[in-house]
Amino acid sequence: MIKDNVLEALNKQIKLEGDSSQLYLAMASWAEVKGLEGTANFLYGHADEERTHMLKLVKFINERGGKAHIPQIEEPKQDFSTLKDIFTAILNHEIFVSDSINEIVGLTLKESDYSTHNFLQWYVSEQIEEEKLARNILDKLDLIGSDKGGLYLFDRDIVTISVAPAGE
């Protein structure tokens, strides 16, 4: 059975993962309207991935005898200026998510909840990869600068920009 304070923290994380999915979805829609099909598809995929992270938490909580709370998801920002703005926002958001996961990990250690601690290690690894991916993309966008040909190639090739999923 999950202690109440750990359950509360995990339920907050469910909301954060859901909000992350919505943020990526809004970014994907913006990119698609701007003709950045590759970037849009990349971001749609990440929106699905964040939803999967949320569902993984829901199932864990319920399987451990808790009750997952499915929150109302907040409307994310809808308009962006540039791809660099989007990926800077993604990096900042992923750092925020990492901080949240780390706080829960600390709580599980304090509460001697080693099952939840073990479960959360996947999220810790995943967040390292998410931050690395955002930094990698920002580095590429910095190299491109304002070159439209470079942007075209970036958008075409973004589906190949990835890191190995956590645990592989």
46 has binding-site annotation: no
Q: How far apart are CA 88 and CA 93, in angstroms?
A: 9
Whether 150 and 156 have beta carbons less than 8 Å apart is answered as no
Q: Please indicate if the annotation marks 127 as binding a ligand.
A: yes
94 belongs to an annotated ligand binding site: yes
**Cα 17 from Cα 127, distance rounded (Å):** 12
CA geometry: angle 94, 95, 101, nearest 5 deg:
85
Whether 22 has a binding-site annotation, put simply, is no
Cβ density class 90-108: b for 16+ within 10 Å, e for less: bbebbeebbebbeebbebb
User: Is residue 53 annotated as involved in ligand binding?
Assistant: yes
Task: Point out the annotated binding site.
Answer: 17, 50, 53, 94, 127
Task: Point out the annotated binding site for Fe cation.
Answer: 17, 50, 53, 94, 127
